[in-house]
Amino acid sequence: MAASLQSLNLNPLSLKPFHKSSTLTFSKSNSIRCSAATPSKRSYTITLLPGDGIGPEVISVAKDVLLLSGSIEGIKYEFHEKLLGGAALDATGVPLPDETLSVAKESDAVLLGAIGGYKWDKNEKHLKPETGLLQLREGLKVFANLRPATVFPQLVDASTLKREVAEGVDLMVIRELTGGIYFGKPRGFGTNENGEETGYNTEIYAAHEIDRIARFAFEVARKRGGKLCSVDKANVLEASMFWRKRVLALAQEYPDIELSHMYVDNAAMQLIRNPKQFDTVVTNNIFGDILSDEASMITGSIGMLPSASLGDSGPGLFEPIHGSAPDIAGQDKANPFATVLSAAMLLRYGLGEEKAADRIEKAVLDTLNRGFRTADIYSPGTKLVGCKQLGEEILKSVESHIPAGAL
Ligand code: IPM
Ligand code: MG
């Protein structure tokens, strides 16, 4: 495989094995359903949630890419497009309609664009688009969020970091997605003993929540570079002290993994100072939210980063990590690469369709090699195109620029 990639002059999306072999086998009963090495069927139901802002534009590109790569690889799709976020609020009055959740639960995988926008920013919490997304993650029980940050050789100069710092970065942030301060209780608004208004949240993790995400991370690290860095704030927060205690206890089962611990403030600094020191990072919900945005900028643009959210069973949720970018929505300026790469993750980790995933990832690299760029990753000497045209170029790469024998 490596030889054929070299002959194509395409770099694999990640040189580390977790991208190449997606089977995660757990030593305990806690098995992650994500990846049958051999797909069990070749016909899948996919829930599409375009959402708001640039969501519909990038989802439309990713859908075409799925369809074309599927037709080449002998995979059939039935797409169900449903409402989420602001679009759902406008149409139904709630950010996650029951129908959306039930259709999503019934499907083989869920592909999401983005949610949110100025229009709904001042809504009460239960009527915010973001609440719909959190309810969806909770409803699908997708506790493990994989956010790879890979610097593509073609985009090194798009990074705000120096070439020698950014070049070769290939790290995976594993974010706990259904617990911690995002969901902890008590939460709300109140009044303190001085009669002053307050707002409060609770950072709380139960043992099983830490154990399952840590186990997931150890397994991923084992398939990548064998290094796991657990990020916490155990010098201050009880929830982090407990997190570290559980991760340390689990480490006994993974003597082959080089485990380190880092406080989140230091991790934020180290990510910019020397990102290549990281291989696999595991952290809680809120630290993962922040660090994954930071890691994305090492790669040049948040518009390049896909994500996969997986649970013990049921469909995975696949989404770009960028938001709805209301400032450029409807202007054909969005970068569809992150959503297309999320579709590749859907195939690889959600459906076990490795070949089709490979084909899409290689098409992305080929499109970059041919010089096509949206504004966020443009540099002089490359070809500036809009979202639609970039989509067409990706389709050309899916179809004709990749010899079948190379896959
Ligand atoms: C993300 C986003 C979401 C989060 C928002 C939109 C609720 O920032 O997926 O990183 O905070 O998880
Ligand atoms: Mg975020």
Could you confirm whether 293 is annotated as catalytic?
yes
Could you confirm whether 76 is annotated as catalytic?
no
Any atom of ligand 1 within 6 Å of the Cβ of 130: yes
| pLDDT class of 40 with cuts at 50, 70, 90 | low
pLDDT tens digits, one per residue of 153-205: 999 988 999 999 999 999 999 999 999 999 999 999 999 999 999 999 999 99
Task: Check whether 11 has a pLDDT greater than 70.
Answer: no
Any atom of ligand 1 within 6 Å of the Cβ of 321: yes
pLDDT tens digits, one per residue of 238-277: 999 999 999 999 999 999 999 999 999 999 999 999 999 9
Q: Which atom of ligand 1 is nearest to the CA of 133?
A: 7
| pLDDT class of 20 with cuts at 50, 70, 90 | very low
The string over 315-345, giving b where at least 16 C-beta atoms fall within 10 Å of a residue's C-beta and e elsewhere, is: bbbbbbbbbbbbebbeeebbbbbbbbbbbbb
> Considering the chain, what is the average pLDDT of its residues?
90
Task: Check whether 17 has a pLDDT greater than 80.
Answer: no
Q: How many CA atoms lie within 13 A of 60 on its CB side?
A: 15
Task: Check whether 328 has a pLDDT greater than 70.
Answer: yes
- Ligand 1, atom 12, lies closest to the CA of 289
Mutation to probe ligand 1, out of 54, 130, 302 (largest number of atoms < 8 A from CB): 130
Q: What is the pLDDT of residue 26?
A: 36
Q: Which atom of ligand 1 is nearest to the CA of 130?
A: 7
Q: What is the pLDDT of residue 38?
A: 53
Average confidence (pLDDT) over 128-152: 98
Do residues 94 and 88 lie in contact, with contact meaning Cβ atoms separated by under 8 Å?
yes
Mutation to probe ligand 1, out of 181, 287, 289 (largest number of atoms < 8 A from CB): 289
Q: Which atom of ligand 1 is nearest to the CA of 307?
A: 9
Residue bearing the bigger pLDDT, 405 or 89? 89
Q: What is the pLDDT of residue 41?
A: 73
Residue bearing the bigger pLDDT, 29 or 211? 211
Distance from Cα 219 to the centre of ligand 2, integer Å = 24
Q: What is the pLDDT of residue 39?
A: 58
Do residues 353 and 69 lie in contact, with contact meaning Cβ atoms separated by under 8 Å?
no
Average confidence (pLDDT) over 74-98: 98
Q: What is the pLDDT of residue 3?
A: 26
Residues with CB under 5 A from ligand 2 (ion): 289
Any atom of ligand 1 within 6 Å of the Cβ of 358: no
Average confidence (pLDDT) over 2-23: 34
Q: What is the pLDDT of residue 218?
A: 98
Catalytic one among 64, 108, 279, 289?
A: 289
- Ligand 1, atom 9, lies closest to the CA of 321
pLDDT tens digits, one per residue of 231-243: 999 999 999 999 9
Q: What is the pLDDT of residue 62?
A: 98
Distance from Cα 195 to the centre of ligand 2, integer Å = 34
Q: Which atom of ligand 1 is nearest to the CA of 137?
A: 12
Task: Check whether 325 has a pLDDT greater than 50.
Answer: yes
Distance from Cα 277 to the centre of ligand 2, integer Å = 23
Could you confirm whether 312 is annotated as catalytic?
no
Average confidence (pLDDT) over 399-403: 68
Could you confirm whether 366 is annotated as catalytic?
no
- Ligand 1, atom 11, lies closest to the CA of 289
Could you confirm whether 182 is annotated as catalytic?
yes
What percent of the chain shows pLDDT beyond 90?
86
Any atom of ligand 1 within 6 Å of the Cβ of 133: yes
Average confidence (pLDDT) over 139-163: 95
Q: What is the pLDDT of residue 400?
A: 82
Under 8 Å CB-to-CB from 249, ≥6 apart: which residues?
Answer: none
Task: Check whether 37 has a pLDDT greater than 90.
Answer: no
| pLDDT class of 402 with cuts at 50, 70, 90 | low
Q: What is the set of domains in the chain, with CATH numbers?
A: 41-147+301-406 (3.40.718.10), 156-300 (3.40.718.10)
Angstrom distance (rounded) from CA 385 to CA 335: 10
pLDDT tens digits, one per residue of 23-34: 443 333 333 444
